[in-house]
């Protein structure tokens, strides 16, 4: 839907440029046509005057349409180039964000020049104002610089799963100032780049989905291990689209109050870790039921003092 709107806007802008590039096509008076041509001949500069006419309006539309077309073309090129891999997609996302700001600034200054404003003085004023704002907005500058370090040091990219504080989610966008993270429930968290510290990137390496069931003390561990040795390869063949390799039996991890805890794990992609844990738990429960291996309930032993 968003892409369709961009295409429609692009077509409208091109048609607007075509019409405004040929003022004779417009149903305007000869005086307005003469004024439009005068502005064009002076590179969109007028004598310093606050007079606003139809000629100004038409040339403003012409300028804004050109900026919009150039911005849309560059955005399309960057978006297409960003489909190669996640890193390129991340860098191009930042460039598109910067391009948007540049397009607005260019359109604003060009519009002022069409209206006859001395843009040199405006740029000088903006430079001084920007310096003042820069000192007053150090957090903004810190966000921008941190965002650049995040991207060029490849700390994380769009599509990576990260854990920030107690929030686990997928990076959806990295902007000039902020990063957007989406959790499994579709909730979005927008974080200033400078506030992203001590995070975990869980997408760099494969993750381990664990199942740690307890079995009763009466269970023959040698028999249990034979059952697992036979069943684990079959589990991998059945779920090879989810498991990256055969599940592994790691041994006994705890001698609890009511039973013996064993650990089984399987290597998976981070985005599939919860699905894999649920599947592994189900497979182990069914295996234990079929093999007569008891998963005990909590038990309390009471000794009679007499």
* CATH code for the domain in which residue 188 is found: 2.30.30.60
pLDDT at 20: 57
Q: Please check the confidence at residue 45 and state whether its pLDDT lies above 80.
A: no
Contact 72, 6 (CB under 8 A): yes
SS3 106: helix
Mean pLDDT over residues 92-121, rounded?
A: 74
Does residue 269 belong to any structural domain of this protein? yes
> Of 63 and 231, which is predicted with more confidence?
231
Band of pLDDT at residue 79, cut at 50, 70 and 90? confident
Q: If you average pLDDT over residues 106-134, what whole number do you get?
A: 64
- 169 shares a domain with 109: no
What are the pLDDT digits (tens) for 136-164?
456 667 777 777 777 777 778 788 888 88
Structure tokens, 193: 């780049």
pLDDT at 86: 64
105 and 55 both lie in a single domain: yes
Q: Are residues 71 and 22 in the same domain?
A: yes
User: Could you tell me which of 251, 253, 245, 259 has the C-alpha nearest to residue 228?
Assistant: 251
Last residue within a domain, chosen from 201, 233, 258: 201
Q: How many CA atoms lie within 13 A of 209 on its CB side?
A: 24
CA atoms within 13 A on the CB side of 94: 23
- How far apart CA 54 and CA 68 sit, in angstroms, is 21
**29: containing domain:** 2-136
Q: Which of 38, 207, 53 is nearest to 115 (CA)?
A: 53
pLDDT at 175: 76
Whether 229 maps to a domain, the answer reads yes
Same domain assignment for residues 178 and 53: no
180 and 212 belong to one structural domain: no
pLDDT at 281: 94
Q: Is the pLDDT of residue 287 over 90?
A: yes
Average pLDDT over residues 14-31: 62
- Of the pLDDT bands very low, low, confident and very high (cuts 50, 70, 90), residue 78 is confident
51-65, 114-128, 267-281, range with the lowest pLDDT: 114-128
How many CB atoms within 10 Å of residue 208? 14
Quick one: average pLDDT of 238-252?
Answer: 92
Same domain for 47 and 66?
A: yes
Region 233-255 average pLDDT: 92
Place of tokens 């000794």: 303
Highest-confidence range of 3-12, 28-37, 46-55, 140-149, by mean pLDDT? Answer: 140-149
CA 249 to chain centre: 37
Among 90-99, 153-162, 230-239, the least confident range: 90-99
Token pair belonging to 163? 């854990």
Are both 120 and 16 inside the same structural domain? yes
User: Beta strand 248-255 with 260-268: parallel, antiparallel or unpaired?
Assistant: antiparallel
Instruction: Let me know whether 214 and 178 are in one domain.
Output: no
Which of 119, 141, 120 minimizes the C-alpha distance to 130?
141
| pLDDT single digits (tens) 204-230 | 778 889 999 999 998 999 999 999 999
Do the Cβ atoms of 160 and 85 come closer than 8 Å?
Answer: no
pTM here is 0.50
Query: Among 85-89, 112-116, 154-158, whose mean pLDDT is lowest?
Result: 85-89
- In a domain, residue 10? The reply is yes
Averaged pLDDT, 100-106: 81
Indicate whether 25 and 71 sit together in one domain: yes
CATH value at residue 274: 3.30.70.100
In the chain, the N- to C-terminal Cα span, in Å, equals 80
Q: Does position 24 have pLDDT exceeding 70, yes or no?
A: no
Which residues are bridge partners to 162 per DSSP?
Answer: 169, 201
Residues 162 and 132 in one domain: no
Tokens for 256, please give them: 């609890």
pLDDT at 230: 92
Looking at the fold, whether 33 and 131 belong to one and the same domain comes out as: yes
pLDDT of 233 reads 92
Whether 167 and 199 have beta carbons less than 8 Å apart is answered as no
Model pLDDT, residue 305: 58
Q: How confident is the model at residue 187 (pLDDT cuts 50, 70, 90)?
A: confident
Give the model's pLDDT for residue 4: 62
Supply the mean pLDDT for the chain. Answer: 77
Of the two residues 115 and 70, the one the predictor is more confident about is: 70
């Amino acid at each position: 839907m968003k892409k369709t709107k961009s295409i429609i806007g692009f077509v409208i802008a091109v048609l607007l440029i075509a019409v405004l590039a040929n003022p004779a096509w417009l149903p305007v008076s000869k005086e307005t046509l003469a004024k439009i041509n005068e502005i064009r001949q002076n590179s969109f500069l007028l004598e310093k005057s606050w007079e606003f006419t139809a000629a100004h309006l038409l040339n403003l539309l012409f300028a804004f349409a050109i900026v919009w077309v150039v911005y849309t073309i560059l955005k399309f090129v960057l978006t297409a180039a960003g489909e190669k891999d996640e890193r390129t997609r991340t860098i191009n996302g930042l460039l598109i964000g910067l391009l948007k700001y540049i397009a607005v600034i260019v359109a604003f200054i060009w519009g002022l020049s069409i209206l006859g404003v001395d843009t040199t003085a405006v740029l000088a004023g903006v430079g001084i104002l920007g310096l003042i704002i820069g000192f007053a907005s150090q957090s903004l500058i810190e966000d921008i610089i941190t965002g650049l370090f995040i991207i060029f040091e490849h700390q994380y990219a769009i599509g990576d799963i990260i854990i920030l504080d107690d929030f686990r989610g997928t990076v959806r966008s990295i902007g000039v100032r902020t990063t957007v993270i989406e959790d499994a429930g579709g909730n979005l968290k927008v974080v200033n780049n400078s506030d992203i510290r001590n995070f975990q990137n869980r997408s760099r390496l494969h993750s381990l989905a664990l199942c740690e069931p307890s079995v009763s003390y009466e269970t023959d561990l040698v028999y249990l291990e034979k059952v697992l040795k036979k069943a684990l390869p079959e589990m991998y063949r059945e779920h090879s689209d989810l498991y990256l390799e055969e599940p592994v039996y790691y041994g006994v991890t705890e001698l609890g109050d009511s039973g013996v805890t064993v650990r089984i794990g399987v290597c998976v992609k981070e985005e599939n870790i919860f699905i894999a844990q649920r599947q592994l738990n189900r497979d182990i429960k069914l295996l234990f039921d079929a093999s007569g291996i008891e998963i005990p309930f909590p038990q309390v032993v009471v000794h009679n003092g007499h």
